[in-house]
Amino acid sequence: MNFYRSHVLICGGTGCTSSKSVEIKEELERNLEQLELINEVQVVMTGCFGLCEAGPIIIVYPEGTFYSEVKVEDMKRIAEEHLLKGRIVKDLLYKEALVDDQVKSVDEVEFYSRQTRIALKNCGVIDPENIDEYIAKDGYQAIAKVLTEMTPEAVIEEIKASGLRGRGGAGFPTGLKWEFTAKATGDQKYVACNADEGDPGAFMDRSVLEGDPHSVIEAMAIAGYAIGASKGYVYVRAEYPIAVKRLKIAIDQAREYGLLGTNILDTGFGFDLDIRLGAGAFVCGEETALIESIEGKRGMPRPRPPFPAQKGIWGKPTLLNNVETYANITQIINNGAGWFASIGSEKSKGTKVFALGGKINNTGLVEIPMGTPLREVIYDIGGGIPDGKKFKAVQTGGPSGGCLTDEHLDTPITYDDLVALGSMMGSGGMIVMDEDNCMVDIARFFLDFTCDESCGKCTPCREGTKRMLELLDKITSGKGTLEDLDQLETLAYTIKDTALCGLGQTAPNPVLSTLEHFRDEYEAHVKNKKCPAGICQDLLEYYIIPDLCKGCTKCSRVCPQDCISGEVKQLHVINVEDCIKCGACLDACPFNAIIKQ
């Protein structure tokens, strides 16, 4: 094996790949070839580093130099200056990595220094397409320990003792789920992995599969041993091509090394995995719909009980966990349940990965100990709200969750604290909103999504969400009444109580939580026919502020309705009656004299 003096890690997550990290890698290698450095410098494509906002990201070790937003044409300089001559290219550094002209390494950047990485331990550190690198990071040690030193019962006890709860959102105790499946009777049992991440704004499962696929494979094999299954399925949406590709490569490598298949590590235990591709339907994240889909049927939920632990895939006992849940398993086995239970809060152990998005400076993926206050995640790790705007709300738990306001910022992030406030952990999407977001519009956006994704099997979800959406459309277009608000609430509670599966039961949550915390905004839409945030087009009117207008005529020239009148160097006026609210005048005005209200 070659000893390299320098390693260049390039982010190969979906975000950075779409901003050309593959081309960047090729260009860097071409330059290294030319400079005859290719045998001294190892270039590795890793999984997601997390700080997607600043992508594509490159980290150069051993210094840990952290370059962000690099372009293909920057590679020549990085190769010539940094790798050949040892001079750091300062203008390409991540903004926080250069303080008082002192270059900081990646570990010292606040975004990373406040995180605790368990599920993401190897993401952005190893080459996900190289099983040897995973093994070097203690990979497949846990399965070896389990197979040679532990009984299936002991494994389940260890998981129970760790306090791990399902990271897919509901937070059911993982060890208990394993125990139920282990105790169920059946000639064949299955282990399944839910990688059908569908929440708008959530991408932690994708990142784990892309950055560390072996950790999921190893954990599923451990689960197979614990519950007595010889076969597993990873259900992943086809919209995640990089994750699917890396998972395939990883499964092949594990088979080649004898870590999947028959007689693993000479212990007599056999386990193998298959991938099942989903078409990217939100409802297929529901465990029973996912199972139907694996069986080759249309992905629609079925009533529970019986639970999958009793009757799952092909009617056999099935253990179904989410990607992030599995990503914690090997480390619980390697480091002990006590170690894991020492991290986090009393009832929520370990860490949780969040996908930060929306109006926040550091969009990306963060992993924090449970119990960390929302404020720390949004301001210290997330870097706060861009452009000096005011924080308004944070939506946690995706479409199934709710919006929290600034009075909730000191809430510790745990399963129970979030539920108590009418939101939830969910898979971990965290969308931040500032003063420019209209909460009614946000509720409408999420409802539009769930309405679209409803499978149509049960009436409350199929018809109910549609009716709710109609009411929200009515409100945002200025035709709503106070009775509509009451009806919206009644409908929401009815759907919650009567829908067949989680999709329908949680679909009204964004509406209910915004109604609770931002009722004044709904009332402004209904009573005053105004959108306070200036988002709902139908409720806006465009005005020219007389003091600021210089009479430059730019606005009247772009107006498609010819509804702006005024002479050169004289005050202009918008005829509100004819205005179609296209906003062209606002964009054209050089003096910021036009406002919408």
Partner 1 sequence: MKSLEDLKKIREATLKNLQLRNQDESEQVRIVVGMGTCGISAGARPVLNAIVEELNKRNISGVSVVQTGCVGMCRLEPMFDLYKNGEKVTYVNMTPEKSREVVAEHVVNNHVVSGYTIGKTE
Q: Which residues bind partner 1 (CB under 8 A)?
A: 1-7, 9, 40, 42, 61-64, 84-87, 105, 107, 125-126, 132-133, 135-141, 144, 148, 257-259, 265-266
Tell me the β-bridge partners of 405. 393
Task: Tell me, letter by letter, the H, E, C secondary structure of 365-418.
Answer: EEEEECCCEHHHHHHHHCCCCHHHCCEEEEEECHHHCEEEEHHHCCCECCHHHH
Least Cβ distance, residue 242 to partner 1 (angstroms): 22
> Which residue number, 61 or 591, has a Cβ lying nearer to partner 1?
61
Token couple for 213: 């696929």
- φ and ψ at residue 352, rounded to 5 degrees: -140, 140
Closest residue by Cα to residue 174 from 322, 366, 343: 322
Residue 133 C-beta: closest distance to partner 1, Å:
6
Least Å distance between CB 206 and partner 1? 23
Judge whether 591 and 550 are in contact, CB under 8 Å. yes
Nearer to partner 1, 140 or 326 (CB): 140
Q: How far is the CB of 48 from partner 1 (least distance, A)?
A: 16
Cβ nearer to partner 1, comparing 61 with 180: 61
Complex with partner 1: residue 5 or 519, whichever CB lies closer: 5
Q: Minimal distance in Å, beta carbon 87 to partner 1? A: 5
- Kindly state the smallest distance separating residue 588's Cβ from partner 1, in Å: 50
Token couple for 147: 């197979």
Token pair recorded at residue 403 = 């919006």
In angstroms, what is the C-alpha Rg of the chain?
27
Question: Would you say 192 or 273 has its CB closer to partner 1?
Answer: 273
- Closest contact distance (angstroms) between CB of 367 and partner 1 is 18
- DSSP 3-state assignment of 132? helix
Residues 6+ apart with CB under 8 A from 267: 147, 148
Looking at beta carbons only, is 18 or 263 nearer to partner 1? 263
Question: Around 399, how many Cα atoms within 13 Å sit in the side-chain half-sphere?
Answer: 26
Complex with partner 1: residue 107 or 387, whichever CB lies closer:
107
Nearer to partner 1, 259 or 370 (CB): 259
Q: How far is the CB of 141 from partner 1 (least distance, A)?
A: 8
C-beta of 41 vs 461, nearer to partner 1:
41
Q: How far is CA 94 from CA 84, 90, 390, in A?
A: 21, 9, 25
Q: Residue 163 in contact with residue 254, Cβ under 8 Å?
A: no
Q: How far is the CB of 38 from partner 1 (least distance, A)?
A: 13
**DSSP string spanning 420-470?**
HTT---TT-EEEEEETT--HHHHHHHHHHHHHHH--SSSHIIIIIHHHHHH
